[in-house]
Structure 1
Amino acid sequence: MKCLWAFFAVAAVLLTFVPFAGARPEVVDRIVAVVNDDIIRLREVDRQLEPVRKQLESRNLSEEQMREQLYEARMQLIDELINETLADQQIEEAGIQVGKAEVDAAIEQVKQRNRYTDERLRQALEMQGMSMEQYRSELRHQILRSRLVNRKVKSSIVITDEDIQRYYEDHPENYGSSPRYKLRNILLAGPDKDTNDPEIRRRINEIREQVNEGSSFGKMAEKYSLAPNADEGGELGEFAVNDLARDLRSVIGDLEEGEVSGGVETRQGIQLFYVEKIIEPPSEPLESAAAEIEEKLYNEQVDEKYRAWLESLRENAHIRVFR
């Protein structure tokens, strides 16, 4: 193993530069961490870090602040990738596998539970900032992890009636009125445009003024929207604020029923969001909430024991990070 570490240490330096005849060396890729017999490469870290980088760039930070926060996010991501690699090694060692059919079945269960069509599921994922490919990968990872956890930690977990009662009493905000927003949208332009474009600003103001004067947002969605749901009047469905992508929560949460947002720059492009209705559900009694609370507490204990198990793996693993 020491020889292997020495090889990776040298490779981490050598792979940084790839010289070729007639040109200067170019930075291509390098190893950022070694986890037992596996490696984590810079290109994978940078790929997963890109959304964080874009978010930080939008906050007008100083160069020093940008550098510090990006470094902190990078090290946190590397730490998470180390844990994932350790878990993947255990999954491979145990011979745990998940096929395409099992992921398909999991997606069908999600669609049936939420009464989604394929297109409505894609729209819901987009509202949370995910593509279908990312969602499939995440589902597959969850199934693999669940099977690994089944073998390693679940047998020692017990949730009592007292645990459920205590959680219900301590979290009235979860089982009282939690409003849901019935939303519509208009996609005005692709991601190559921004809200400073004069034509886009004019169209945003025009639509908002017409809605404020009593025009149907749905009819304008049919007329102006570039989204696949334009023929449905921009209908998106019902969402709690916390179900939305993080950058949409404050936008939607600040709107009243019948209001239209300003232009919002999203991954899909510039969008307007309309709150057609705010639905205030009644308080939920303990009897109907008990199963959900039990599942939540169970998952929390699974996560806690899983993290402790990962820590024990880290203590016995050969891990080296190249900063």
Structure 2
Amino acid sequence: MPTPRLLLRVRAAVLGAALLSAFAVTAAEPAPAKSAAIELFPDLPVVKGKGFEIKASELERAFMEYRANQAARGQAAIPEAQRREIEDKLLARMIVTRILVSKARPDDKAKGEVAGNKAYADLRQRAGTDESFKRQVESMGMTTESLKSQLIERGVSEEVFSREVKNKIAIPDADVAKYYTDNPARFEQPEKVRISLILKLTVDPSLLRVPNAKLDLPEEKKKANRAEIEKLLARAQMGEDFTKLVLEGSDDPDKKANNGEYTFPRGAMSPEFEQACFALKPNEISGIVVTKLGYQVIKLHEKIPAKKTEFELVKARIREQLQQQEAEKQMPGYFEKLKAEAEVKILRAVPPK
């Protein structure tokens, strides 16, 4: 399977780095609305290759999605003078995506569908609610249906790249051992805490990824949540089962999956939350900790000392990393080879200088 960092590089090459945080741009999904340009001019091909073509409407739609994504992220409007440059980059990535998908075998398609569906489910879960998810997707000029299709297409593209390039790269054992020896700091694990927590929100989680949104809940709701967590804390201090209290009263959307339990390393938490966690002794319960998300009560299960990860536990990951570094070097040449084999012809007029 492709490694996470490699997937990001492939996605950047295939889909456009500026779109990664807002999912992807491809050329095969129906648009939610047509622009004036699509309505007024003939829908002629802008690219032709063996077995495929990309029409002007598809490029126009990709640009519209890109522009909507930029706006959703609070970016300034795209100057008209930059449009051609952006369209050229989008078109280049659309071409590679089309070719990669056309080379997919049944197993590539099956794995890509699994990866795409998982990516879709993860995005949906992070959004909090169906309503919030739909709003975020539509703010970027997409629909949830087209998003899922694009994520699956992206997954298929990644599988083809891994099969044809990454998986053919062999890394000698000596190179793996040398990397471990030469980079000791990379394998130091910081001290960690394993905790359970009860969360009562003071912000609307459905708006966390909406630019410039007013996150704070109404004061009445904040006061009600403060009163609720005070009651939950009192019950915890009286000896009630902490996991039961988590499941009963926490606003954490993941509580059913993990019973409110998390393991955090130093440096990965907000200062006030980290300080409270590391100040506790095992089985001790904190007071109410106030963070940007809301009110939290923490129970410490254990502190895990800092240590260096043993070579045997990381050698497979090191090999993957070295393999992916070499695959990244080969990526530009591979994509040029794909376009040459597909006899790609760009039919767009060259703008006057």
Assess same fold via TM > 0.5: yes
Q: 2:37 aligns with which of 16, 39, 45?
A: 16
Pairwise CA RMSD: 5.5
| Matching of residue 174 in structure 1 with residue 186 in structure 2 | yes
Q: Is the 8 A contact 2:188 2:308 kept in 1?
A: yes
Corresponding residue for residue 24 of structure 2: none
Q: Secondary structure at the match of 1:167?
A: helix
Q: Is the 8 A contact 1:183 1:235 kept in 2?
A: yes
Corresponding residue for residue 308 of structure 1: 333
Q: Is the 8 A contact 2:176 2:319 kept in 1?
A: yes
Q: Secondary structure at the match of 1:165?
A: helix
Report the Cα distance in structure 2 between the residues aligned to 1:124 and 1:214, rounded to whole angstroms: 35
| Matching of residue 223 in structure 1 with residue 249 in structure 2 | yes
* 1:294 Cα offset (Å): 0.4
Corresponding residue for residue 142 of structure 1: 155
| Matching of residue 159 in structure 1 with residue 177 in structure 2 | no
* 1:211 Cα offset (Å): 8.3
Q: Is the 8 A contact 1:221 1:233 kept in 2?
A: no
Report the Cα distance in structure 1 between the residues aligned to 2:191 and 2:83, rounded to whole angstroms: 33
Letter of the structure 2 residue corresponding to residue 141 of structure 1: R
Report the Cα distance in structure 1 between the residues aligned to 2:65 and 2:264, rounded to whole angstroms: 29
Corresponding residue for residue 7 of structure 2: none
Report the Cα distance in structure 2 between the residues aligned to 1:48 and 1:252, rounded to whole angstroms: 36
How do 1:44-123 and structure 2 match up within 5 A? Answer: 44-47=62-65, 50=68, 52-56=70-74, 66-67=76-77, 79=89, 82-92=92-102, 94=103, 96-97=105-106, 102=111
Provide closer, same or farther for how the CA distance between residues 71 and 200 of structure 1 changes in structure 2, counting only shifts above 3 A.
farther
Q: Secondary structure at the match of 1:38?
A: strand
Corresponding residue for residue 246 of structure 1: none
Report the Cα distance in structure 1 between the residues aligned to 2:80 and 2:273, rounded to whole angstroms: 30
Q: Is the 8 A contact 1:184 1:276 kept in 2?
A: yes
Q: Secondary structure at the match of 1:159?
A: coil
Provide closer, same or farther for how the CA distance between residues 234 and 142 of structure 1 changes in structure 2, counting only shifts above 3 A.
same
Report the Cα distance in structure 2 between the residues aligned to 1:78 and 1:199, rounded to whole angstroms: 52
* 1:185 Cα offset (Å): 6.1
Count of residue pairs brought into register by the alignment: 267
Q: 1:38 aligns with which of 35, 49, 54?
A: 54
Report the Cα distance in structure 1 between the residues aligned to 2:318 and 2:330, rounded to whole angstroms: 18
Report the Cα distance in structure 2 between the residues aligned to 1:196 and 1:89, rounded to whole angstroms: 48
Corresponding residue for residue 3 of structure 1: none
Report the Cα distance in structure 1 between the residues aligned to 2:262 and 2:84, rounded to whole angstroms: 36
Provide closer, same or farther for how the CA distance between residues 283 and 235 of structure 1 changes in structure 2, counting only shifts above 3 A.
same
| Matching of residue 318 in structure 1 with residue 317 in structure 2 | no
Provide closer, same or farther for how the CA distance between residues 235 and 253 of structure 1 changes in structure 2, counting only shifts above 3 A.
same
Provide closer, same or farther for how the CA distance between residues 138 and 17 of structure 1 changes in structure 2, counting only shifts above 3 A.
closer
Specify every segment of 5 or more residues in structure 2 that has no aligned partner in the other structure, as ranges.
1-33, 134-143, 208-213, 278-285
Q: Is the 8 A contact 1:221 1:234 kept in 2?
A: yes
TM-score by length of 2: 0.51
Q: 1:295 aligns with which of 320, 324, 327?
A: 320
Deviations 1:64-103 (A, max 9, x none): xx346999899669736632532322431x3534587646
Deviations 1:154-213 (A, max 9, x none): 53x231233213322343333111455656464744636721632344356556777898
Q: Is the 8 A contact 2:99 2:338 kept in 1?
A: no
Report the Cα distance in structure 1 between the residues aligned to 2:304 and 2:247, rounded to whole angstroms: 22
Q: Is the 8 A contact 1:45 1:78 kept in 2?
A: no
TM-score by length of 1: 0.55
Deviations 1:48-76 (A, max 9, x none): 5655533336xxxxxxxx34699989966
Report the Cα distance in structure 2 between the residues aligned to 1:49 and 1:75, rounded to whole angstroms: 13
**Identical aligned pairs, as a percentage?**
13
* 1:279 Cα offset (Å): 4.3
Report the Cα distance in structure 2 between the residues aligned to 1:158 and 1:305, rounded to whole angstroms: 14
Letter of the structure 2 residue corresponding to residue 54 of structure 1: A
How do 1:137-286 and structure 2 match up within 5 A? Answer: 138=151, 141-151=154-164, 154-155=167-168, 157-178=169-190, 182=195, 184=197, 186=199, 188=201, 189=204, 191=206, 194-195=215-216, 197-203=218-224, 219=245, 222-223=248-249, 225=251, 227=253, 229=255, 235=260, 237-238=262-263, 251=270, 255-256=274-275, 257=277, 260=289, 262-264=291-293, 276-277=299-300, 279-280=304-305, 282-286=307-311
Corresponding residue for residue 26 of structure 2: none
Report the Cα distance in structure 2 between the residues aligned to 1:241 and 1:42, rounded to whole angstroms: 46
Corresponding residue for residue 9 of structure 1: none
